[in-house]
Amino acid sequence: MKQYETVIGLEVHVELATKTKIFCGCSTRFGGEVNTHTCPVCTGMPGALPVLNKKVVEYAIAVGLATNCEINRNCRFDRKNYFYPDNPQDYQISQLYEPVCLNGHVDITVNGTGKSVGIHEIHMEEDAGKLIHEENGSMSLIDFNRSGVPLIEIVSEPDMRSAEEVISYLEKLRTTIQYLGASDCKLQEGSMRADVNLSVREEGSLVLGTRTEMKNLNSFKAISRAIDAERNRQIRIIESGKRVVQETRRWDDNKEESYSMRSKEDAQDYRYFPDPDLPGIFISQEWIDAIKADEPEFKTAKMARYAKEYGIPESDADIITDSRHMADIFEETVKLCGQPKKAANWLMVDTIRLLKENSMDPEDIRFSPENLAKLIKLNMSGTINSSVAKEVFEKMFDGDMDPESYVKEHGLAQENDEDALKATVQKVIDENPRSVEDYRNGKEKAIGFLVGQTMKAMQGKANPGIVNKILKELL
Ligand code: ADP
Ligand code: MG
Ligand code: ZN
């Protein structure tokens, strides 16, 4: 069989985190009662006029700057005409001729190799409503709450060659946009949606093959599976002497296969024209400069600084900086307790575990850096041992509270006093002659059991190091 290369370009839609919609004052909040966040503008009533939300342009420019784009200082909205029941105006306000950002790139690293993925453009547009299909199939209902929610569409060049590169690109986009606060970028909830354009060509060929566009991909796993399946499907078609048809396909992640939705439409099918209701947008250099000046320190820069300033391993920094919120907690905690490695461990091990167990995002972390710093200090000073610290931490994770008062109230301070511990240790020795004998006969491990018994007798509040020391002395 011939060798084939996979060629992938992505169209990524991101819902922007504005409070109100792009062309009206309705709320963008997710999950409201159906058709309550609506008005004549976002339900397409005749005569209603759109007014642009400035914050949308600001977010689009911020994402453009962060992805090395040129900002189009004179951009404009166009009407994309098509009928669909959840599209009440019979056109979508989008940008075709003069998109807000152009010619950028995103740098990714896959298996240690760096690569730059070109950004063809970023444009602003409005989201459509949502169709709700009745269970029994007798009718469909329309919820217009999402109609007019602002989107940006980030269109890449066909520069990616594998699922790994695609995931890496999407992760980079997602953290960048989350750091900017421009969107929460949740694939599952649809605030980030990626359409995968894929073609294959013989290895070494310079002409692009015919592509298909795949939709309905709502997790990185689904994207990965869909890419492999589509690559194989296209190769099978070509190998059997047929041609790939340019079309839009829908991925069914349960069946792990895609099916044709519609043949591909061209730009001309939409009869795009400049929207006469919206004047062109002039973007001043001052505005761009102000947005640039407001840019946060991004993940890559943070990781480098953490290695240099705090001396923590790159793998730690990588996990912590995945979320700006977690990175903020980390930095604040270190400022308060001066223990970067300890703070890193609480976040990347215990916090990540608890987030997973509770299906929460790092953004949902409730404990404060002040309290995490206090906990670290309590443990470092020997006031509480590590297992009690873990117990207190879990309580802090559930609902932020002051670990100092909690330890006091619940009498969790550990016993560090040798004389106070000696009596308990002696009692454990007397009660466990077998283990004592084992230890004396050279079975070093037997001491672990005796430490455990002492800890148990002390309800977990003894200092295990000191217990160990006393045991060795008494045996
Ligand atoms: P359209 O506007 O018709 O959807 P575009 O030219 O804007 O088409 O491309 C849409 C996306 O498809 C872009 O991300 C682009 O990189 C990608 N793309 C275009 N041609 C190919 C191809 N032959 N193989 C893979 N991806 C492609
Ligand atoms: Mg397109
Ligand atoms: Zn509205």
Task: List the CATH number of the domain containing 439.
Answer: 1.10.10.410
Q: Going by C-beta distance under 8 Å and a sequence separation of 6 or more, which residues neighbour residue 181?
A: 17
Closest ligand to C-alpha of residue 196 is 1
Select the more confidently predicted residue: 445 or 370: 370
Measure 156 CA to ligand 1 centroid, in angstroms: 8
Q: Going by C-beta distance under 8 Å and a sequence separation of 6 or more, which residues neighbour residue 407?
A: 378, 383, 384, 388, 392, 413
Comparing 6-15, 229-238, 437-446, the range with the smallest average pLDDT is: 437-446
Measure 72 CA to ligand 1 centroid, in angstroms: 21
Q: Report the alpha-carbon distance of residue 111 to residue 161 in Å, rounded.
A: 13
pLDDT of residue 437: 87
Domain closes at, from 358, 383, 409: 409
Mutate to test the pocket of ligand 1, among 155, 214, 262 (most ligand atoms within 8 A of CB): 155
Residue 157 CA: nearest ligand 1 atom is 16
Say whether both 120 and 39 belong to one domain: yes
Q: Report the alpha-carbon distance of residue 256 to residue 253 in Å, rounded.
A: 5
Residue 158 CA: nearest ligand 1 atom is 16
In this prediction, residues 122-140 reach a mean pLDDT of: 92
Closest ligand to C-alpha of residue 129 is 3
Give the residue from 454, 141, 171, 137 showing the smallest Cα distance to 323.
171
Helices (H), 153-306: 163-180, 220-239, 285-293, 299-305
Say whether both 312 and 365 belong to one domain: yes
pLDDT of residue 435: 85
pLDDT of residue 441: 86
Residue 292 in any domain: the answer is no
Mutate to test the pocket of ligand 1, among 4, 120, 211 (most ligand atoms within 8 A of CB): 211
Q: Report the alpha-carbon distance of residue 454 to residue 291 in Å, rounded.
A: 61
Contact between residue 475 and residue 436 where contact means Cβ atoms under 8 Å apart: yes
Contact between residue 450 and residue 471 where contact means Cβ atoms under 8 Å apart: yes
Comparing 1-5, 42-46, 96-100, 116-120, the range with the smallest average pLDDT is: 1-5
Say whether both 144 and 55 belong to one domain: yes
Helices (H), 99-239: 163-180, 220-239
Residue nearest to atom 15 of ligand 1 (CA): 9
Contact between residue 26 and residue 20 where contact means Cβ atoms under 8 Å apart: yes
Residue nearest to atom 17 of ligand 1 (CA): 9
Residues with CB under 6 A from ligand 1: 7-11, 155-158, 197-199, 208-209, 211, 267
Containing structural domain, residue 179: 4-287
Residue 122 in any domain: the answer is yes
pLDDT of residue 91: 96
In the predicted model, is pLDDT for residue 67 greater than 80? Answer: yes
- pLDDT per position as a tens digit, 263-303: 877 767 899 999 999 999 999 999 999 999 999 999 999 99
87 Rama class: left (phi>0) / alpha (psi -120 to 50) / beta: beta
Residue 293 in any domain: the answer is no
- pLDDT per position as a tens digit, 416-445: 777 877 888 888 888 888 888 888 888 888
φ and ψ of 62, to 5 deg: -60, -45
Closest ligand to C-alpha of residue 22 is 3
Residue 469 in any domain: the answer is yes
Residue 176 in any domain: the answer is yes
Closest ligand to C-alpha of residue 269 is 1
pLDDT of residue 267: 67
Residue 213 CA: nearest ligand 1 atom is 12
3-state secondary structure 353-387: HHHHHCCCCHHHCCCCHHHHHHHHHHHHCCCCCHH
Q: What type of residue is 352?
A: I
Measure 121 CA to ligand 1 centroid, in angstroms: 12
Residue 197 CA: nearest ligand 1 atom is 26
- In percent, the amount of the chain with pLDDT more than 70 equals 99
In this prediction, residues 468-475 reach a mean pLDDT of: 83
The dihedral sign for the CA sequence 267, 270, 271, 272: negative
Mutate to test the pocket of ligand 1, among 197, 243, 246 (most ligand atoms within 8 A of CB): 197
Measure 127 CA to ligand 2 centroid, in angstroms: 15
Q: What type of residue is 224?
A: S
In the predicted model, is pLDDT for residue 205 greater than 70? Answer: yes
> With 0-12 CB in 10 A as exposed, 13-18 as middle and 19+ as buried, what is 102?
middle
Identify the band that residue 452 occupies on the pLDDT scale cut at 50, 70 and 90.
confident
Q: Report the alpha-carbon distance of residue 124 to residue 154 in Å, rounded.
A: 9
Cα dihedral 470, 472, 473, 474 in deg (nearest 10): 80
Q: Report the alpha-carbon distance of residue 111 to residue 281 in Å, rounded.
A: 42
Say whether both 248 and 323 belong to one domain: no
Domain closes at, from 287, 316, 335: 287
Say whether both 277 and 338 belong to one domain: no
Say whether both 280 and 337 belong to one domain: no
Q: Report the alpha-carbon distance of residue 339 to residue 372 in Å, rounded.
A: 11
State whether residue 101 is helix, strand or coil. Answer: strand
CB atoms within 10 A of CB 45: 12
Say whether both 115 and 263 belong to one domain: yes
The whole-angstrom distance between residue 373's C-alpha and the CA centroid of its chain comes to: 26
Say whether both 220 and 309 belong to one domain: no
Say whether both 248 and 390 belong to one domain: no
Measure 158 CA to ligand 1 centroid, in angstroms: 7
In this prediction, residues 314-340 reach a mean pLDDT of: 95
Say whether both 201 and 339 belong to one domain: no
Residue 451 in any domain: the answer is yes
Closest ligand to C-alpha of residue 148 is 3
Measure 40 CA to ligand 3 centroid, in angstroms: 6
Measure 197 CA to ligand 1 centroid, in angstroms: 6
Residue 424 in any domain: the answer is yes
The dihedral sign for the CA sequence 210, 215, 220, 222: negative
Residue 359 C-beta-side C-alpha neighbours within 13 Å: 1
Measure 401 CA to ligand 1 centroid, in angstroms: 52
How many angstroms separate the Cα of 452 from the Cα of each of 252, 435, 445, 460?
Answer: 52, 12, 11, 9
To the nearest whole number, what is the mean pLDDT of the chain? 93
Contact between residue 56 and residue 153 where contact means Cβ atoms under 8 Å apart: no
Domain closes at, from 259, 287, 315: 287
Residue 295 in any domain: the answer is no
**Is beta strand 212-215 parallel, antiparallel or unpaired with respect to 247-252?**
parallel
Residue nearest to atom 5 of ligand 1 (CA): 155
Closest ligand to C-alpha of residue 266 is 1
Residue 155 CA: nearest ligand 1 atom is 14
pLDDT of residue 432: 86
Measure 25 CA to ligand 3 centroid, in angstroms: 6
Those residues whose beta carbon sits under 5 angstroms from the ion ligand 3 are 24, 26, 39, 41-42
Say whether both 403 and 454 belong to one domain: no
Number of domains in the chain: 3
Contact between residue 64 and residue 100 where contact means Cβ atoms under 8 Å apart: yes
Say whether both 203 and 88 belong to one domain: yes
In this prediction, residues 59-65 reach a mean pLDDT of: 98
